[in-house]
Structure 1
């Protein structure tokens, strides 16, 4: 298996600008904790709340780690032209993995969605990772659709970031093309996804609790499934609390607690209340070893 990748948060200073110094502290810490690499400018990176210059700045910032870590650049956009722009920028900086959400808002056909990925792959002369996150894009992969099957068999798709709880869908995609890499994106089902043959994990909570998930991952690989499952329950207690207060705002708060100045999420996200902060801190304290 390929390892654990951090879906990196974007950290802001008090003026709302990207905080490079604090970001470096977090990236260095995650590497020391055993991260295989980073997924840059995805949902955790507030991709669709960033302007073009800021998104390129994120790529540049993390590209400094290309000799130390395996890097994904998320380039998904509402238009093919915009996605290709980001993909070319990232490749020029040395990224060897390009990922993209499907374009949303308009009711694109499966053929139109497939050509979005064909166009990106052709523009940068490398296959693309399909960022499957239907909870946000409202675009379900149509695994029985001829255009989708053709896409997954074409070589234009290197893999899937499967931020979806559907284990069956993951297995069916592997059945369409066993060479496609699939990385689980919902760490609250890590044990189950590993058991079904995913190739690794990309998670947002790894930003502040990577050592806990590394234990789950390593225990599973050692065949100690019962021990891994017990730690999964504790991780899921924390995930439930994060979802109760707001996932990304909660992660940033826990980073702040740990001494990483993460700043706040951009509007329309709202900061946590004092009651929410205390509730989250208590759950984390009671479940992290």
Structure 2
């Protein structure tokens, strides 16, 4: 069985502070459902909307589970110094897996991006995960660049979270370095990612529908491709609504509806309207088959 990691939300309390008890409740539930671990402080965790103290606190909470699950700490930042700070904090807490988006906003060159990853890897003393999500960073992983090819061969990057619908790119990464571990970041294409040889998934919707996607993966790996595709399509009907009305707000609404208070999203993100909540609830009732 390939690995399934939850791209965890960051629950807030009534005062807008990190709700550690809710986070623990959710992680316990995810583990009981078969989660192999957690990706902390990523997009689903509202990463760049958290303060420095909150990002460190989220790592601290997750480190409580380091002996029971694989923990990934997302340390991505605009500046290398900031990313290195988070990486060292996570390492001191015993979190073994460090992940980072490429730096954003300034249109950094491939040489500058490669240097960023070399510096993070050197700071923690082991390879890091390249969080490839060009829809958010607006920076494509340019596999034709000599600097990026050298980075992928160097040992500074040991894995990639490939949140990109270009699946050929995943195969080409393996061609550059067969030892690179590729995790699918779009569970909406789980069957296709598996066909292209990904080693597992890091999924936002796993916060509340991990069992359903675990079944999709099991069916595919058992050679029951038609059944896997049918369940994939049902799951994607849920994901369509989840993404259309606001990923983080919908995740928190659903998790709260399942009995774990997750709080509101942080501005400028907007909470769901009553109509949007009703739409999410309706599609869950229709297509969520495995809880």
TM bin (shorter chain)? over 0.9
Matches within 5 A, 1:195-274: 195-274=195-274
SS in 1 for 2:42: coil
TM-score, reference length from structure 1 = 0.99
2:119 corresponds to 1:119: yes
Could you list the structure 1 runs, at least 4 aligned residues long, displaced by more than 4 angstroms after superposition. none
Matches within 5 A, 1:99-248: 99-248=99-248
Segment drifting more, 244-253 vs 207-216: 244-253
2:50 corresponds to 1:87: no
Equivalence for 1:72: 72
Give the Cα separation in 2 of the matches to 1:118 and 1:279: 45
Equivalence for 2:26: 26
Equivalence for 2:39: 39
Q: What's the offset of the Cα at 1:248?
A: 1.4
Give the Cα separation in 1 of the matches to 2:267 and 2:69: 31
- The gaps in structure 2 that reach 5 residues or longer are none
Number of residue pairs the alignment of both structures matches: 289
Q: What's the offset of the Cα at 1:2?
A: 3.7
Give the Cα separation in 1 of the matches to 2:58 and 2:194: 30
Q: What's the offset of the Cα at 1:247?
A: 1.4
Give the Cα separation in 2 of the matches to 1:10 and 1:192: 29
Tell me if structure 1 keeps the 8 A contact 2:46–2:248.
no
Q: C-alpha root-mean-square deviation of aligned residues, in Å?
A: 0.8
SS in 1 for 2:161: strand
SS in 2 for 1:44: helix
Q: What's the offset of the Cα at 1:117?
A: 0.3
- 1:23-82 superposed Cα distances (whole Å, 9 cap, x missing partner): 111000000000000000111111100111110000000100011001111000010000
Equivalence for 1:5: 5
SS in 2 for 1:161: strand
Give the Cα separation in 2 of the matches to 1:154 and 1:92: 24
Q: What's the offset of the Cα at 1:123?
A: 1.1
SS in 1 for 2:182: strand
TM-score, reference length from structure 2 = 0.98
Give the Cα separation in 1 of the matches to 2:227 and 2:192: 13
- The gaps in structure 1 that reach 5 residues or longer are none
- 1:106-129 superposed Cα distances (whole Å, 9 cap, x missing partner): 021111110000011111111110
Give the Cα separation in 2 of the matches to 1:187 and 1:248: 16
- 1:90-144 superposed Cα distances (whole Å, 9 cap, x missing partner): 0111111100000010021111110000011111111110000000000101111
Tell me if structure 1 keeps the 8 A contact 2:76–2:99.
yes
Q: What's the offset of the Cα at 1:244?
A: 2.0
Give the Cα separation in 1 of the matches to 2:62 and 2:243: 27
